[in-house]
Amino acid sequence: MSEIRYVCLSDMHFGAENSLLTHLDPGAGEIDVARPSPVLVGLVQCLDHLIGGGSGQRPTLVLHGDIFELALAEANDAFMVFERFLELAFPEGQTWLFDKTILYVPGNHDHHLWELAREAQYVRYLDGRTLGERLEVLWHTTRLFTHQDPAPVESTLLNAIIRRHPHLRELSVRTIYPNLGLLSPNGRRCALVHHGHFTEYVYRLMSVLQDMIFTDHTVGNEISDWEAENFAWIDFLWSTLGGSGRVGQDIALVYDMLQSPQAVRLLTNNLARSIAGRHAGGWLGQLSLAFALRFVFNRIFAHVAVMERKVTDDVLTEDTRRVLALYLEEPLLRQIKKESGQTALPSDCLFIFGHTHKPFEAWGTFKGYPSEVALFNSGGWVVDTERPVPKQGAAAILLDSELHAVSLRLYNQAAHSQEYQVRVAGLDDPESREFLSSISGLTNPKRPPWHDFSNIVARAVAERRHALARIITRGERTARQIRY
């Protein structure tokens, strides 16, 4: 039987009120970071059922982005929810679920963890330089294949959190950004793991604007170019606002209000009237400016609404498909060839990402790759709409030692609780059938722990949806009370 070698999870959004993995008090509607959420407990139980309690090699846990919610929640809350996960997955006095090195690929909502890691990386570099020696610039990426890195980048912050638990002294987190490469022992298969934010134009907005404004600007094709030109933009808007005190809380409220057309109208009206009242003279000037601003703001909010995770009728929009192809065919392909020192790629490649909160499996044809690329999306664990979105859900992407992949579809949102069901999904790949059959044989959606987990998720999704409705109502009430 094929054994699980890697478990890939993303978009857990620890600390976020709308994350199923953050404990939410249904009565008070507030998070409780001292307790693990029922869904988090159930998730670990399901994975433990697959992995088993044997004494052999434990699979490696790969966390590929948005594990922490640093934009719409306080960082300390996110870290404490992470501790609850550690206590479940690495229990004291019992066999750990995973091996002692966690591979961490930051995303956009926890991008700041990469900034901290790369600065710590540079500090270590400085320790080895002599006075008068020319210093290199700070690196914006790590090596793709971490096993070939002579000085892997450790996550100083996350390791400090781990060290708070005496029984976890041997556990550590290694940071790889923005791409992690895994090779099968025979070198024929390659798994490429990325969070997924660089599959959307908005995360390259600085590069796009620079290209539009400065005609002599050449768009970089290296992965370091993509990150260097856009890291400050990503870090500010999606990864540090949660630490901005009341401003961060208000931004989170605005984000939730975007789910309601009525709330959006209130937001745009109030914002337009406020700016017009301060910068236009006379009632006619204020009225004209407010009208123009409302038009602009409505266009902006409409653009936000069609970002990938907000589009509910397909797993990927046409724009995202185009940027995904650009990402695989340009910077990622160049990084693979540069680091491997070879022009020929492994015969079989798979690309694992999250970010969209819509899990799926598909084949993709991309220039420069010797065969079709297997695409696996791990979805996400948040509920940010008032109505069910069947395309949204979460999966754990499982890999065996030969990098055959299976998607453990843990849930998709549904209109009725009885429709929630764990299932195993894969692609039509003859070499992966044994692994798919092995995982399917261990996953019976009508028996524990799978059936129990589905019931827990169904209740939690309904609770988060009710909580979101309360938040939007509170935001609308606040907006109506504003006077100018």
Query: Do 125 and 163 belong together in one domain?
Result: yes
Cα separation, 113 vs 325, in Å, equals 27
109-157: pLDDT as tens digits: 999 999 999 999 999 999 989 998 999 999 999 999 987 777 889 999 9
The tokens of 478 are what? 């606040």
Domain encompassing residue 288: 242-306+470-481
330-343: pLDDT as tens digits: 999 999 998 887 76
Amino acid identity of residue 33, one-letter, is V
pTM of the complete model beyond 0.85: yes
Query: Do 404 and 286 belong together in one domain?
Result: no
Query: Do 213 and 264 belong together in one domain?
Result: no
Per the structure, the count of domains in the chain is 2
Query: Do 63 and 193 belong together in one domain?
Result: yes
Task: Report the pLDDT averaged over residues 62-75.
Answer: 93
Burial (CB < 10 A; 0-12, 13-18, 19+), residue 181, is buried
Judged by average pLDDT, the poorest of 37-46, 248-257, 378-387, 425-434 is: 248-257
Query: Do 266 and 224 belong together in one domain?
Result: no
Cα separation, 200 vs 442, in Å, equals 36
Query: Do 327 and 250 belong together in one domain?
Result: no
Query: Do 265 and 413 belong together in one domain?
Result: no
Q: Percent of the chain scored above 90 by pLDDT?
A: 64
Burial (CB < 10 A; 0-12, 13-18, 19+), residue 211, is middle
Query: Do 354 and 435 belong together in one domain?
Result: yes
Q: Percent of the chain scored above 70 by pLDDT?
A: 79
Q: Which residue do the tokens 């109505």 mark?
A: 387
Query: Do 277 and 320 belong together in one domain?
Result: no
Query: Do 443 and 411 belong together in one domain?
Result: yes
Q: Which has more confidence, 243 or 176?
A: 176
What is the structure's pLDDT at 158?
Answer: 97
End-to-end Cα separation, the chain, in angstroms: 69
296 pLDDT more than 80: no
Query: Do 13 and 153 belong together in one domain?
Result: yes
Query: Do 105 and 221 belong together in one domain?
Result: yes
What is the structure's pLDDT at 483?
Answer: 47
